[in-house]
């Protein structure tokens, strides 16, 4: 009885939460596109499987886990699962694009989304964030608190159970497991870099801390591996390509994409409309190494540097206002929009400069998914 009720409740919660009118099981007729609706049936099935396996012994825990998955995993743009499936469609031979193989691509794409959800749960706690994707952060939901850390760990470790269940008979299985562990390790290093703060003296922070090299390392480890490179490597493994050395130039292009993806995230944290982005920005208060502060430090005169060092990293409203005004005074928004206008040309140019080991169209589709116009979030 409990299993039946949990399955029914899971479906109801998913429908209410995601506003999906239907979950068609038919794959998109356009091979190069992967819609959100196409991805959702697989998530529903995975949620049922993960939360009904041990209900006879630990029904309460399984019910809580179902709520954890539904609340944290499928929200947002689902970039990573869509990127994974799109990459697989473009890289696989036509005769191997069977419904079974496409389903495996969806499953592993959701594994990446689950890893992302676990990371974000922990990230929100570290940043003392209030909102995520238009709803309270998981740790702020009534009855959750610091137990959210246990939930994040459960989500992450469930991924390896899914990999064993669906991929242990595949030649790429060990490669996939090693890749997931490596990417999570790298992302952990990125999170560690992101939490570092400059030394302070007499209430002023050391602005020399905010260097371009430090920022690039944060992008590389915190964002690039698990956002842009991860889906493509996974898709390559699924197609039987186990040696990725020839694709390194393409991964370098993807890093350019990751750099803009993180740069845009930084910009929206400060200048985005929280009603649209779904979260309140805290980068200034946290004293984070972002593209905005890095650029401001390079441009600021002595007076502006003094104001930045006295106010950056402080939580009071007046200090945040002063820093934001300095960003505008230093024309950082104008620089951002110039970069946004040029990012497509940059990606196209860099893609044409490398070999055709990966289809150009794959890079362009990744760019379309990752590099949206910021006006979509600031109006």
Parallel, antiparallel or unpaired: strands 135-136 and 131-132: antiparallel
Please tell me the number of Cα atoms within 13 Å of 85 on its side-chain side. 31
Does 363 score more than 80 pLDDT? Answer: yes
Q: How many residues does the chain have?
A: 379
pLDDT-derived band at 179, boundaries 50, 70, 90: very high
Would you give the DSSP letter of residue 235? Answer: H
Does 47 score more than 60 pLDDT? Answer: yes
Does 56 score more than 80 pLDDT? Answer: no
The model's pLDDT over 207-262, given as tens digits with 9 standing for 90+, comes to: 999 999 999 999 999 999 999 999 999 999 999 999 999 999 999 999 999 999 99
Cα–Cα nearest to 209, from 65, 98, 305, 127 = 305
Higher pLDDT, 171 or 277: 171
- Mean pLDDT (whole number) for 25-29: 34
**Domain 171-378's class?**
mainly alpha
Position 128 scores a pLDDT of: 87
The model's pLDDT over 62-102, given as tens digits with 9 standing for 90+, comes to: 999 999 999 999 988 899 999 999 999 999 999 999 999 99
Q: Based on the number of CB atoms within 10 Å of its own CB, is 88 exposed (0-12), middle (13-18) or buried (19 or more)?
A: buried
Distance CA 140, CA 361 (A): 41
3-state secondary structure of 132: strand
What percentage of residues in the chain have a pLDDT greater than 90? 73
| Token pair in block for residue 13 | 């919660």
- Mean pLDDT (whole number) for 266-293: 90
- The lowest-confidence range among 27-31, 52-56, 372-376 is 27-31
* Count of C-beta atoms within a 10 Å radius of residue 153: 13
Same fold, 33-170 and 171-378: yes
Distance CA 26, CA 148 (A): 35
Rg value, the chain, Cα: 22
Cα–Cα distances in angstroms (integers) from residue 8 to residues 44, 74, 109, 243, in the given order: 11, 18, 24, 43
Average pLDDT, the chain: 88
Cα–Cα nearest to 117, from 156, 183, 73 = 73
**H helices, E strands: number in the chain:** 18, 4
Please tell me the number of Cα atoms within 13 Å of 43 on its side-chain side. 31
Does 18 score more than 70 pLDDT? Answer: no
| Token pair in block for residue 40 | 């959702």
| Token pair in block for residue 180 | 């997931």
3-state secondary structure of 241: coil
Would you give the DSSP letter of residue 238? Answer: H
Q: Which residues, 6 or more positions from 249, have their beta carbon under 8 angstroms from its beta carbon? A: 354, 355, 357
Position 317 scores a pLDDT of: 95
Calculate helix-pair angle for 2-18, 55-72, nearest 10 degrees: 0
Cβ–Cβ under 8 Å, residues 273 and 123: no
pLDDT-derived band at 369, boundaries 50, 70, 90: confident
Homologous superfamily assigned to 33-170: Farnesyl Diphosphate Synthase (1.10.600.10)
Does 146 score more than 90 pLDDT? Answer: yes
Does 31 score more than 80 pLDDT? Answer: no
- Break the chain into its structural domains and give their ranges: 33-170, 171-378
Predicted TM-score (pTM) of the model is 0.86
Please calculate the CA angle 114-149-132 and round it to the nearest 5 degrees.
60
Position 8 scores a pLDDT of: 44
């Amino acid at each position: 009885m409990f299993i039946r009720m949990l399955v029914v409740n899971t479906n109801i919660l998913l429908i209410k939460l995601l506003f999906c009118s239907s979950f068609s099981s038919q794959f998109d007729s356009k091979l190069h596109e992967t819609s959100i609706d196409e991805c959702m049936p697989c998530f529903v099935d995975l949620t049922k499987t993960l939360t009904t396996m041990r209900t006879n012994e630990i029904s309460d825990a399984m019910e809580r886990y179902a709520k954890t998955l539904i609340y944290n995993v499928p929200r947002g743009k689902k970039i990573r699962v869509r990127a994974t499936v799109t990459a697989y469609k473009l890289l696989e031979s036509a005769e191997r694009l069977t419904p079974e193989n496409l389903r495996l691509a969806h499953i592993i794409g959701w594994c990446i989304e689950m890893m992302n959800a676990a990371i974000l749960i922990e990230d929100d706690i570290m940043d003392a964030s209030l909102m995520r994707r238009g709803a309270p952060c998981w740790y702020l939901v009534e009855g959750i608190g610091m137990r959210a850390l246990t939930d994040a760990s459960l989500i992450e470790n469930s991924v390896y159970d899914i990999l064993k269940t669906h991929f242990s008979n595949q030649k790429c299985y060990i490669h996939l497991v090693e890749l997931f562990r490596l990417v999570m390790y790298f992302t952990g290093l990125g999170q560690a870099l992101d939490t570092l703060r400059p030394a302070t003296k007499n209430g002023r922070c050391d602005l020399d801390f905010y260097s371009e090299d430090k920022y690039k390392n944060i992008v590389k480890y915190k964002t690039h591996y698990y956002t842009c490179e991860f889906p493509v490597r996974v898709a390559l493994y699924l197609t039987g390509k186990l040696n990725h050395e020839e694709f390194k130039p393409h991964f370098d292009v993807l890093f350019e994409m990751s750099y803009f993806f993180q740069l845009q995230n930084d910009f929206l944290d400060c200048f985005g409309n929280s009603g649209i982005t779904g979260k309140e920005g805290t980068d200034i208060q946290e004293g984070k190494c972002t593209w905005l502060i890095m650029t401001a430090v390079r441009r600021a005169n002595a007076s502006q540097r003094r104001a930045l060092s006295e106010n950056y990293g402080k939580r009071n409203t007046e200090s945040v206002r002063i820093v934001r005004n300095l960003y505008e005074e230093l024309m950082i928004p104008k620089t951002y929009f110039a970069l946004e206008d040029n990012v497509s040309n940059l990606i196209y140019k860099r893609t044409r400069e490398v070999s055709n080991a990966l289809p150009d169209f794959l890079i362009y589709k990744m760019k379309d998914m990752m590099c949206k116009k910021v006006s979509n979030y600031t109006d």
